[in-house]
Amino acid sequence: MKGKVALITGAARGIGRACAVEFASLGANVIIDDLPDEQSVRLLHEVKEMLESKYGVRVLAVPADISVEASVRDLFAQSVAEFGRIDIVVNNAGIAIDKDWDDHTVEDWRRSLDNNLIGTWLVSKYFGGHMAAMGGGSIVNISSTNGIDAVSPFSVGYDASKAGIINLTKNLARQFAPSVRVNSVAPDWVDTDMNKDLAPEYMAGVIEKVALKRIAQPAEIAKIVRFLASEDASYLNAITIVADGGRA
């Protein structure tokens, strides 16, 4: 990984932040993206400062909404201007809208699809095409076990968008072959801010269904992402690795 350039979207917190740490710890220069709101920008720059001081790598922090094509185009332009090339893309940015079935709206669906699915496609379109033209690279998309087995209509839009990412991964792998590999990771429950407000009794029920009797840490998912992006996975393409701790 030393000297390579990795883009991680949604890198201000959770799995994205863990991926930025994982790649930087191995000597990769990183581009970190998150939403342009005040809190995300603050966290993004905290991550940048930490990575630079701890690992001595170059870090470009770009607040950008990946659901907006103009923002992705600007993210791409800044990335290429700074580093000249991109070797790895981690499409992690996404949102979850959880509510009762009858309360879901068309706008909720559009937000889920725009951020999770269309955003992943947009980033891949710009960066994947560049990597293919440069002769190689790797894209890793973050899906979810919700995209494989529907858990509850409570998260219907999120589930559908994550299922779409698995299918999109296969199409991207065909589009950018043979020089760019595209794979995905489908985590189950992960200890991130997205889940921090869930009731303890609910999480106890979740953990009971996991063979390892715990949920994943973001760093554990980041290591799977790093493996897929590395040459150790040089013959893996268009696959989805399920990281669920063993569904009991």
Instruction: Using alpha carbons, select from 112, 165, 111, 113 the residue that is nearest to residue 139.
Output: 165
Annotation says 158 is catalytic? yes
Q: Give the C-alpha separation, 24 to 29, whole Å.
A: 6
Phi, psi dihedral angles at 16 (to 5 degrees): -65, -45
Q: Give the C-alpha separation, 239 to 187, whole Å.
A: 14
Q: Give the C-alpha separation, 212 to 245, whole Å.
A: 6
Exactly one of 55, 126, 158, 235 is catalytic; which is it?
Answer: 158
Distance linking the first and last C-alpha atoms of the chain? 35
Q: Which active-site residues does the annotation give?
A: 158
